[in-house]
Amino acid sequence: MNLNFEQLKIQFQQDLDLSNDAQSVEDLRIKYLGRKGLVQSLYSQLASLPNDQKPIFGKVINEFRQIVNQGLDDKKSSLGDSDAASKQQLMDLTLPGYRHENGHKHLLTQTIEEICDIFKQLGFVIEDGPEIESEFNNFAALNIPADHPSRDGFDTFYLDRKGAEHDGTLLRSHTSPGQIRIMQKYAPPLAVIIPGKVYRPDAVDASHSFMFHQIEGLLVDEEVRFSDLKGLLTTFCKRLFGNEIDMRFRPHFFPFTEPSAEVDISWSKGKRNWLEIMGCGMVHPNVFSAVGYKRGAYSGLAFGLGVERIAMLKYGINDIRVFYENDLRFLKQF
């Protein structure tokens, strides 16, 4: 057997260079590695060699077969790449993808979460309370006597119940009865946030709704100060609306806090345009008495805010009805 392996290698390389598609590479594979291919015929010639030469030639054939294998593989994969590339050019990459869109959280829920998250970071716990309430929790315990002008701000839906002419069961007109429930259940220290739906008999228009959402906050401990109220709510407002807002605490009246204040914020630096965003104050001693706390043992701060109002101010919404119409075009904006 007298074969020039170098010559064979050169020949293979030339064949390989000429193959430019998958078919010609396959043809080449058959020519060299097929059952009747060149490599196989080389092996079959081995038998006729003298024994001492068999290992030497065997080794050389093996080497050659590896070179062929490697060459064919490389060629194949390089062709494969350009094949795929040429196919991809046919695909219009400006076509939209298959969009399995996520749904959207209602903006009111987002606003409630945003507000609750700020207070959670400050150590408050989120609690819940029922919407159907007693007159005691909604009014009397909060130092709002019956037939008093301080009830004027709290027009209330009462339930029509058989048997009981007027048992005072009502739909809570604010989230403050949640304070009463928490204090009846737990002793201080406590720091809770109570979000929820509230109801007031109102005709629905751009700025009124008979159902809306409020968030109540309550912090009671042995020595809570008025300065804490200012500090806490300033931190809250700046986190919610940004550091650039201006704020003021304006004295106000709420039966269940003393001193009481309303919080105004303003974005415009020049001519101030103050927007009222929440009510707050130091828990009235009568409220502590109503829940059976020892008089003088604790002080506390409380605040309440309207979720719709906050969302409207923050996102530039001018009609409260948009929250309850649930138009998908609105829901998907946020």
Q: Which of residues 177-216 bind another protein (CB under 8 A)?
A: 182, 186, 189-192, 197, 199, 201-203, 210-211
d(CA 228, CA 219): 10
Does residue 235 bind another protein (CB under 8 A)? yes
Q: Is 239 in the site for another protein (CB under 8 A)?
A: no
Which region, left, alpha or beta, applies to residue 281 given φ > 0 means left and ψ of -120 to 50 means alpha?
left
Residue 320 interacts with another protein (CB under 8 A)? Answer: no
Q: Is 46 helix (H, G, I), strand (E, B) or coil?
A: helix
Nearer to another protein, 61 or 263 (CB): 263
Query: Given the complex with another protein, which of 68 and 142 has the nearer CB atom?
Result: 142
Shortest gap between Cβ of 325 and another protein (angstroms)?
A: 7
How far is 71 from 13, CA to CA, in rounded Å?
8
Tell me, by CB under 8 A, how many residues bind another protein.
Answer: 90
What amino acid occupies position 307?
A: V
Instruction: By CB under 8 A, tell whether 147 contacts another protein.
Output: yes
Computed on alpha carbons and rounded to an integer, the radius of gyration of the chain in Å comes to 40
Q: Does 102 bind another protein (CB under 8 A)?
A: yes
**Taking the complex as a whole, how short is the minimal distance between the CB of residue 87 and another protein, in angstroms?**
20
With respect to another protein, which residue has the nearer C-beta, 64 or 236? 236
Q: Which of 206, 237, 238 is nearest to 322 (CA)?
A: 206
Encoded amino acid at 107, one letter:
L
Of residues 118-137, which lie at the interface with another protein (CB under 8 A)?
122-128, 130-132
Helix H, strand E, coil C: the string for 2-36 is CCCHHHHHHHHHHHHHHCCCHHHHHHHHHHHHCCC
Residue 259 tokens, joined: 């001193």
298 sits near another protein (criterion: CB under 8 A): no
Task: Assess 90 for contact with another protein (CB under 8 A).
Answer: no
Q: Which of 19, 173, 179, 260 binds another protein (CB under 8 A)?
A: 260
Collapsing DSSP to helix, strand or coil, 100 comes out as: coil
Handedness of CA 50, 51, 56, 58 (dihedral sign): positive
Residues 41-70 that bind another protein (CB under 8 A): none
State in angstroms the smallest separation of the CB of 273 from another protein. Answer: 14
